[in-house]
Amino acid sequence: MAALCSLRSMFAVLCGLLLLYPASAGDYTTWSTGRATFYGAPDGSGLDGGNCGFGPLANSYGRYVAAISISLYQNGKGCGGCYEVKCVDSQWCTGKSVIISATDQCPDGGYCDNNQAHFDMSHPAFEMIAQKIAGVIPVSWRRVPCVRTGPIQFVINGNPFWFTIMPKNVAGAGDVKSVEVQIGGRWVPMIQLWGQNWLLSGMGQVNGAISVRVTTLLTGEVITVPNVIPSGWKSGTPYTSGMVNFACSAVQTVTNTVRRVRKTQWFVTATNSTS
């Protein structure tokens, strides 16, 4: 357990370094401007994934979440992305910032119009950065890597003739550009149905275990999870494979090689594999 906790601490440090030194140009944005409001119960209870489809959030994305404006939502492909948000230019600012996960779409119109980034934040997230008496505040925001606990999850619904898959708990970029499944030895793209629900139909009866490949929207990273959905799967069930996830998960992927380099530097190689 001590070794596992040490690894978690080290990955948290590495993810923190990514905020300062992105892996490649354009992966994570510079600070931009927007607005924020809040919704929901004061303790953050009862939140759900809304137009992202994640379902109840308490045991997955937690209390620090937000519904994002259409320009950030990107027809659902922005769901799951992480943002650092801080209040600016208001007497009600606390001076702190908060990291939130995008779990819903903020309805168009009013504060959530297309022309400006807006975060309708959970009550606890908003109160991290401003006193709630403010109601609406100007903010600065930037994309940051998502630190998740545990593996990426695939929630499957339907039957062998048609089914949807929803990726959840996606680390790293957090968002999803595309989902593919392996059918008869070839990769078949799924159709985005709504939010983060992806549909496969018209392929006949799909038997056997299902391998899934996910590509993130922001960074274009790809992860392949072989046979993650077993033969005889049950509709509505989330499936995982070991600890497979993108980088910046609190517990890294199945195979991790941690090497001590020059006594003072750590080098981490993460292989997304179930073997």
* Contact (CB, 8 A) for 28 and 22: yes
Compute the residue count for the chain. 275
193 lies in a domain?
A: yes
The more confidently predicted of residues 265 and 57 is 57
pLDDT over 90 for what percent of the chain?
60
pLDDT value, residue 249: 54
pLDDT higher at 274 or 193:
193
According to DSSP, the residues that pair with 49 across neighbouring strands are none
- Last residue of one domain, picked from the residues 89, 109, 144: 144
Does 106 share its domain with 199? no
- Do 186 and 138 lie in one domain? The reply is no
Residue that the structure tokens 């992966």 belong to:
27
Q: Do 250 and 198 lie in a common domain? A: yes
My answer on whether 71 and 115 are in the same domain is: yes
Domain co-membership, 139 together with 178: no
Q: Model confidence over 215-239: pLDDT tens digits?
A: 999 999 999 999 999 999 999 999 9
Boundary (domain end) residue, out of 144, 164, 195: 144
Residues 6+ apart with CB under 8 A from 52: 76, 79, 80, 102, 103, 104, 105, 195, 196
Contact 224, 167 (CB under 8 A): no
Q: Does 115 reside within a domain?
A: yes
What CATH number has the domain bearing residue 206?
2.60.40.760
pLDDT of 204 reads 86
Residue 122 lies in a domain: yes
Q: At 88, which CATH number?
A: 2.40.40.10
Per mean pLDDT, which range of 42-46, 84-88, 169-173 is the poorest? 42-46
Residue 236 forms part of a structural domain: yes
Per-residue model confidence as pLDDT tens digits over 110-155: 778 767 899 999 999 999 999 999 999 999 999 999 999 999 999 9
Query: 225 in a domain, yes or no?
Result: yes
Sequence-separated (6 or more) residues with CB below 8 Å from residue 126:
36, 37, 38, 132
Report the domain count for the chain: 2
Distance CA 169, CA 59 (A): 10
First CA to last CA distance, the chain: 23
Which residues are CB-neighbours of 105 under 8 A, at least 6 positions away? 50, 51, 52, 67, 68, 69, 70, 73, 76
| Model confidence at 163: pLDDT above 50 | yes
pLDDT digits (tens, 9 = 90+) for 236-267: 999 998 889 998 654 333 333 222 222 222 22
With residue 258 as reference, give the H or E element that holds it: strand 255-261
User: Which structural domain range is residue 110 located in?
Assistant: 29-144
Residue 80 scores a pLDDT above 80: yes
User: How much is the average pLDDT of 197-207?
Assistant: 91
Mean pLDDT rounded to a whole number for the chain:
81
**Residue 159 and residue 139 share a domain:** no
Is 179 a domain residue?
yes
237-239 sheet: strands from edge to edge? 191-194, 197-201, 162-168, 153-159, 237-239
How far apart CA 220 and CA 217 sit, in angstroms, is 6
- Region 37-48 average pLDDT: 84
Answer whether residue 47 shows pLDDT above 50: yes
Domain final residue pick, 118, 144, 170: 144
Distance CA 74, CA 176 (A): 11
Q: What pLDDT band is residue 40 in, cutting at 50, 70 and 90?
A: confident
Cα 252 to Cα 42: distance, rounded to the nearest angstrom: 33
Do both 117 and 198 map to the same domain? Answer: no
3 domain residue, yes or no: no
With beta carbons less than 8 A apart as the criterion, state whether 270 and 252 touch: yes
Residue 215: CB atoms within 10 A of its CB come to 17
Residues 174 and 124 in one domain: no
Q: Are residue 65 and residue 170 in the same domain, yes or no? A: no
One domain for residues 96 and 166: no
CA 151 to mean position of chain CA atoms = 12
Question: Are 99 and 206 in the same domain?
Answer: no
Confidence of residue 4 (pLDDT cuts 50, 70, 90): very low
In a domain, 18, yes or no: no
Band (28; pLDDT cuts 50, 70, 90):
confident
The answer to whether residues 40 and 113 belong to one domain is yes
Any bridge partners for residue 271, and if so which? 255
Rounded to whole angstroms, the Cα distance separating 155 from 80 reads: 15
Higher pLDDT, 44 or 34: 34
